[in-house]
C-alpha cells in the first residue's frame, strides 16, 4: 500500500461510523437513508460521515446536483 492509501485506511478505521459506512457501501450504491438503516445510525450522522469520506477521497457522490436521494459509491 502507498502512503495515501494507508492514511485513508487509518482515517476510516478511526471512526466506527466511517468504518461501518465503508463496509456497507462495499455492497453497492446506496442513498443516505438506506445507509443509515443498514448501519443503525441517524441520517444526519450519515450525512456527516459521507461528507468526511468524500473529502478524503474514499467515496464519490454520483449525482451531486440532486438534493435528495443522492447515491454514494466507494
Q: What is the pLDDT along the chain (74 residues), one digit of tens a residue?
A: 799 999 999 999 999 999 999 999 998 989 889 999 999 999 999 999 999 999 999 998 887 776 665 556 55
Full domain range(s) for residue 56:
33-74
Q: What is the CA radius of gyration of the chain?
A: 12
Q: Is residue 21 part of a domain?
A: no
Q: Is residue 20 part of a domain?
A: no
What is the tally of structural domains in the chain?
A: 1
The b/e string for 29-54 (b: 16+ C-beta within 10 A; e otherwise) is: ebbbebbbebbebeeeebeebbebbe
Q: Are 33 and 45 in contact (CB under 8 A)?
A: no
CB atoms under 10 Å from CB of 18, counted, come to 20
- For residue 27, give the C-alpha cell: 455492497
Q: Is residue 69 part of a domain?
A: yes
Q: What's the pTM?
A: 0.82
Q: Is residue 12 part of a domain?
A: no
Phi, psi for 8 (deg, rounded to 5) = -65, -40
Amino acid at each position: 500500500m502507498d502512503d495515501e492509501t494507508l492514511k485513508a485506511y487509518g482515517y476510516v478505521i478511526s471512526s466506527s461510523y466511517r468504518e461501518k459506512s465503508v463496509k456497507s457501501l462495499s455492497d453497492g450504491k446506496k442513498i443516505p437513508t438506506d445507509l443509515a438503516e443498514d448501519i443503525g445510525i441517524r441520517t444526519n450522522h450519515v450525512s456527516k460521515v459521507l461528507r468526511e469520506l468524500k473529502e478524503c477521497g474514499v467515496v464519490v457522490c454520483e449525482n451531486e446536483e440532486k438534493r435528495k436521494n443522492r447515491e454514494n459509491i466507494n
